[in-house]
């Protein structure tokens, strides 16, 4: 793609992943923690592909992670740590998003989940 072809569209770069305070995105943190980077040449593409994948699929399998990253080549790491980092980031993102996705009786003002009345299948007495 030529620069003029991108006129008027939004483009996300690795620098654009930083939070409001300039902190690293959870995927960037996971790559660092899992030692999923070495020379840094492929890192931006791997991280952006991982962010896109996790936006579409918050709980991908290892095969899905490998497929999503297949367009990026890494000559340094052998991919095991990269796949591990994406899985770690997926878990972190699910944990941080879980409180936001409150639904069911609690959201409607009912009793919290986990009570006896909520443990039966719907329609069971």
Distance CA 62, CA 84 (A): 8
Confidence of residue 79 (pLDDT cuts 50, 70, 90): very high
The dihedral region occupied by 112, where left means phi > 0, alpha psi between -120 and 50, and beta the remainder, is beta
Q: Domains of the chain: which residue ranges?
A: 45-99
Q: Is CATH 3.50.50.60 correct for 45-99?
A: no
Residue 19: what pLDDT? 80
Mean of pLDDT over the chain:
82
End-to-end CA distance of the chain: 61
Least-confidence region, from 50-64, 70-84, 106-120: 106-120
Tell me, rounded to whole angstroms, the distance of Cα 94 from its chain centroid: 8
Distance CA 42, CA 109 (A): 48
Helix (H) or strand (E) holding 5: none
């Amino acid at each position: 793609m030529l620069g003029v072809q991108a006129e008027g569209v939004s483009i996300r770069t690795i620098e654009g992943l930083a939070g409001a305070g300039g902190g690293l995105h959870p995927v960037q943190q996971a790559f660092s923690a899992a030692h999923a980077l070495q020379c840094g040449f492929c890192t931006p593409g791997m991280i952006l592909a991982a962010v896109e994948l996790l936006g579409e699929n918050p709980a991908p399998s290892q095969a899905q992670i490998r497929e999503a990253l297949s367009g990026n080549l890494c000559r340094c790491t052998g991919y095991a740590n990269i796949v591990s980092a994406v899985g770690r980031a997926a878990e972190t993102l699910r944990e941080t998003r879980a409180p936001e996705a409150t639904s069911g009786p609690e959201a409607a003002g009912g009793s919290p989940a986990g009570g006896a009345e909520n443990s039966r299948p719907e329609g069971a007495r």
